Structure 1
Amino acid sequence: MRRRLPAVLALPVAASVLALAAGPAAAQVETTPVPAPGNPGAPPASAPASPQPLGHAVGDAGTGLAVIRVLPNSTPTKAILPGAADKLPKQAAVELGFGLASAQANSEAYLAYEKSIAQASPGGIAVQGSSPQAPGSLAQTAPPNNEAPLTGGINPPSTPLDTLVKVGALNGSVSANWSDALGPCVDTISDASTSIASISALNAIPTLPGGKDLTGAFDAPNLDEAADNAVVEQLKNLAGPLSTLGGILGGQGSAGGGSVLSLPNTLSARSVVKLVDIPGSPNKAVQSTSTLQVAALKLLAGTPFEISINVVSQPTLQVTSTGDAATSAVQYTAPVLEVTQGGKSLGRLDAANPKLDIPISLPLPGADDLPGLGDLGKLPIVGNLLGDGSPLRDALSKDLQKLDLGVLRLAVAGLNQTGAAATQPFKGYQLGATARMVDLQVLPTEALGLPNLPSALAQVSLGEQVARAYAPEGGVVCGTASAPQAPPAPAPQGSATPQLAYTNAAYHSVPLFWTGTAMLLFGVVLVAALPTRRRKTTD
């Protein structure tokens, strides 16, 4: 059992889990590459002598509870091949992922303990596509097989990024299994789960100005100079700068304590890779599953504009590869979200209605003079409510004028899947799919006359899911190859090596010394054993 992945696995695991929004690539899991011989003419590494499993299986599943993207689609994607970067979609300048669960299986891994990997991580970060190692993770690898899963808390520390996101306590569980004789033919190859008690994302919008005085910077294309100046003066009256949406959010300079998105209840994610039965065949299919469990979400919680998103249907993504395109399949249960504000429905998000826009407006000068509306100049207008919680339609009936500065766009991300036949490292069929439960984007409108604004100011994705599976033709064979026969002893070649000639008298020195010593000892014993004769004396 290993509690942490070695450094060689930290980067590919963090990067693969964090890049969940990208299209499903090949099902091959990122593992340590097979090293080439130091001498180009040297033979490859020898095959192991012990019996080997017959089954070949590759699959992975990844689930992210929340991923925040600052300046999405703004940074060119790096590529090794010349000209490939121009054809790839752009990525976010900064990506933050929280509550990540990754399960991987790869029978073709070069290192033994990479065949099954389960990891639960409190989070990860990618800056312009580069992802460093994420500390505080739970990880388990196999082989050797693990009798019990590894569980524990993975509490993220406080960081300067708290203005973007604040995460509460997380709990994780990881289980990796592999059989020495049957390989992937175990109950569950890899299983990882993560749960988070609370999260608040986008406590500020860093891509909007942090100051309230926008004199000389604000220039709306549909307003004249006098109207621009009037809007600038109205922005000065807000409770906070635009980076806090006029004081609604809890970032620096805000009078409130809200966040764009928060979770009042526990959100959990689980990723599993295992083998399942193929009907009418003794072989197995590779199945990767990503599941989410969440009850409700909140937008602008604790503010007069609070919006509730109730999750009516939980999303589940499952990819199964039998090795044949005709019988391999992707099964996806799309989420159904009910959006309400002030006790009234704003709309429903599902496959038939994938988008919902909630405008963010600025009450124009003169709104304070409208009878019964109170001091409206301190907060903007979000959705169908004013800053004091009263319905917008009542104010519009009294000739309230507003300017739409931005939009909160909710979207159910559709399923994206790819599949292809493959021949390496074995002949079979690979299938992959990605999906997201809900995307929340902060979009500027043309009326927000600030220079160099991106198309999207920020993006929060909840429930990012990816699953990939790759099985050989006919399915995974569960069995053990016979032990290889020991090679016969090589036959002698040519004549025997002749005895070398003696070229020095030292070759005889030691034998002569010991021979002489033995003869001397024998003589002493012989003399001592003979009887002593007494000499006769004469008187």
Structure 2
Amino acid sequence: MRRRLVALPVTVVVGVLVAGPAAAQVPTTPVPPPRNPGAPPASAPAQVQPLGRAIGDAGTGLAVVRLLPNSAPTKSIIPGAADKLPRQSAVEVGFGLASAQANSEAYLAFERSIAQSSPGGIALQGASPQTPGALAQTAPPNNAQPRSGGVNPPSTPLNTLVKVGALNGRVQAQWSDTLGPCVDTIADSSTELASLSALNAIPTLPSTRDLTGVFDAPNLDPAADQSIIDGLKSLTGGLNTLGGVLGGAGSNTGSLLSLPNTMAARSVVKLVDIPGSKNKAVQSTSTLQVSSVKLLGGTPFEISVNVVSQPTLVVTSTGDKATSTVQYTAPVVDVVQGGKSLGRLDAANPRLDIPIGVPLPTGAALPGLEKLPVIGNLLANGQGVQDALGNGLKKLDLGVLRLSVAGLNQKTEESTQPFKGYQLGATARLLDLQVLPTDALGLPNLPSALAQVSLGEQVARAFAPAGGVVCGTGTAAPAAPPAATPQNRGPALAYTNAAYQSVPIFWAGTAMLLLGVVIVAALPRRPRTVSPRRAG
């Protein structure tokens, strides 16, 4: 069962790394304190110990859907910390998650190397239950061969948010009993996702088409408000389906975001050579492979997001600030609608807004087109928006589809715990798709973002001791006393100096007491005499 252990839900691991990639230690089982303050320390290992000390992790999520991002307060057991932490999303659903972890300081031996591939996970206001179907491998003992497997997720009530096809995973965790992390690759995890469709509806928007008495745009007069209400009534579906464009209403069905082709994620933690040194550096790598993404696929407004350059995040720690590096290959994305380019996203131009508008009743301008909204540069009949506006069409933008890439964040820190060295971490995303309301969408209590889909969330962190990771074997610790015979085997006692020095003292005292009892019982009893004075 140990090989199937999942130390933490992958969504929690990725979330922790995103929140603080330069934190001091990978989340593992904490060291239990002694029951009594004066009790001896924890057991000391008796076998030869490796000299290498290294901490690193990489996490990659193929797709994460967030509803009402930054709306839920973050809970903390530390008084006053909740007000200082960033706010959580109301709901987060992730699919195609891969993580690799290495931690020479882990209390439990089999947590020193962990590779996990998970079909998905869910978090409700920051709390994440563990999901079934995860593929995991831990070390030690070392695993010469990787594990692989697949899962075809069944239909669930969450299909309105995210629906995925078959997922395949591969994991391998390695660790040497004598050299510790000085192996070929410490942890390696990969996940492939066959297909994905996200947000067939937007649950944070109303499903009804009649918003009389609810709609009240702050910058419009009552006559303009009524014109928009009448325009919404004429649409095929409610705002939650973008007026009937998304699946679930009318003949025009589709998803806000879909992946027609395979998307792959890989996370690797290993040691690499340091030029001019016999020691090693800790390197964590997160890579993604995706060719294209469809927005509003299968609808008249379909938008192709073509990934020209694949993103790669590599974090390397040598233990020295001057030579430790964060290398990020930012993605290059072309956005095309109706055969025409809407723009190119890269590190220099990381954002593109696509308007979502509602046609206003104007009499006989373009009959029939008022049943669907206006998205991007196209009408439902394929005609360009600019030409339609010149022919008398009037529209009002109620929302925006915002695309953004190349959001690299990094943190660095010189640390002395659990060892002196240098740690650094970074996070990035391939593509963020946000549904944002405009000021003209006069609905009460709307958040700043209605929904968010993130493709290719990448996290990497590395922490090496000063001078690099030493590959070698230390001296042997004092051997433990021989175990008791099977016939008299009792409960195991922790290997500490004070504990094992008390064992011979206890048994010697017991033997002397028994010997004294035997001697007293074996001595002849002298007859009891009666004093003559008492007898008289």
TM-score (norm 2): 0.90
Deviation at 1:323, TM superposition (A): 0.6
More divergent stretch after superposition (253-262 vs 335-344): 253-262
CA contact (8 A) 1:18 1:125 kept: no
Is 1:392 matched with 2:385? yes
CA contact (8 A) 1:339 1:348 kept: yes
CA contact (8 A) 2:331 2:406 kept: no
More divergent stretch after superposition (104-113 vs 225-234): 225-234
Map of 1:349 onto structure 2:
345
Is 1:266 matched with 2:259? no
Matches within 5 A, 1:18-33: 18=15, 21-33=18-30
> CA–CA distance in 2 between the matches of 1:487 and 1:3?
28
Map of 2:228 onto structure 1:
231
With over 3 angstroms needed to count, the CA separation of the structure-2 counterparts of 1:23 and 1:482, relative to structure 1, is closer
Is 1:381 matched with 2:374? yes
More divergent stretch after superposition (498-507 vs 189-198): 498-507
Of 469, 477, 497, which residue of structure 1 is paired with 2:470? 477
Match of 1:465, SS?
strand
Q: Deviations over 1:211-253 (max 9, x none)?
A: 11111001112222122122212211111110000000003x4
Of 130, 136, 150, which residue of structure 2 is paired with 1:133? 130
Match for 2:58: what amino acid? Answer: A
CA contact (8 A) 1:206 1:243 kept: yes
Deviation at 1:174, TM superposition (A): 0.3
With over 3 angstroms needed to count, the CA separation of the structure-2 counterparts of 1:146 and 1:501, relative to structure 1, is closer
Is 1:500 matched with 2:497? no
Match of 1:171, SS?
strand
Map of 1:407 onto structure 2:
400
CA contact (8 A) 1:244 1:254 kept: no
Match for 2:95: what amino acid? Answer: F
Is 1:47 matched with 2:44? yes
Structure 1 runs, 4 residues or longer, greater than 3 Å off: 18-23, 485-490, 492-499, 501-509
Q: Deviations over 1:200-220 (max 9, x none)?
A: 011100000011111100111
With over 3 angstroms needed to count, the CA separation of the structure-2 counterparts of 1:223 and 1:285, relative to structure 1, is same
Deviation at 1:19, TM superposition (A): 5.2
Map of 1:166 onto structure 2:
163
With over 3 angstroms needed to count, the CA separation of the structure-2 counterparts of 1:172 and 1:507, relative to structure 1, is farther
CA contact (8 A) 2:317 2:424 kept: yes
Is 1:202 matched with 2:199? yes
Matches within 5 A, 1:45-444: 45-251=42-248, 253-366=249-362, 369-370=364-365, 373-444=366-437
Deviation at 1:134, TM superposition (A): 1.3
Deviation at 1:173, TM superposition (A): 0.3
Deviation at 1:377, TM superposition (A): 1.1
> CA–CA distance in 1 between the matches of 2:203 and 2:17?
23
Deviation at 1:507, TM superposition (A): 7.7
> CA–CA distance in 1 between the matches of 2:175 and 2:304?
44
Q: Deviations over 1:102-161 (max 9, x none)?
A: 000000101111000000000011111101001101000000111210001022221101
What residue ranges of structure 1 are gaps of 5+ in the alignment?
A: 510-539
With over 3 angstroms needed to count, the CA separation of the structure-2 counterparts of 1:71 and 1:505, relative to structure 1, is closer
> CA–CA distance in 2 between the matches of 1:28 and 1:255?
52
The percent identity for this pair of structures is: 73
CA contact (8 A) 1:14 1:134 kept: no
Match of 2:230, SS?
helix
Number of positions where the alignment pairs a residue of Structure 1 with one of Structure 2: 502
Deviation at 1:264, TM superposition (A): 1.0
> CA–CA distance in 2 between the matches of 1:301 and 1:212?
23
> CA–CA distance in 1 between the matches of 2:300 and 2:119?
32
> CA–CA distance in 2 between the matches of 1:474 and 1:245?
57
With over 3 angstroms needed to count, the CA separation of the structure-2 counterparts of 1:501 and 1:457, relative to structure 1, is closer
Match for 2:8: what amino acid? Answer: A
Match of 2:516, SS?
coil
Map of 1:512 onto structure 2:
none
Map of 1:536 onto structure 2:
none
Match for 1:5: what amino acid? Answer: L
With over 3 angstroms needed to count, the CA separation of the structure-2 counterparts of 1:502 and 1:312, relative to structure 1, is closer
Is 1:456 matched with 2:453? no
Match of 2:80, SS?
coil
Q: Which has the larger radius of gyration?
A: 1
CA contact (8 A) 1:27 1:432 kept: no
Match for 2:372: what amino acid? Answer: L
> CA–CA distance in 1 between the matches of 2:204 and 2:155?
22
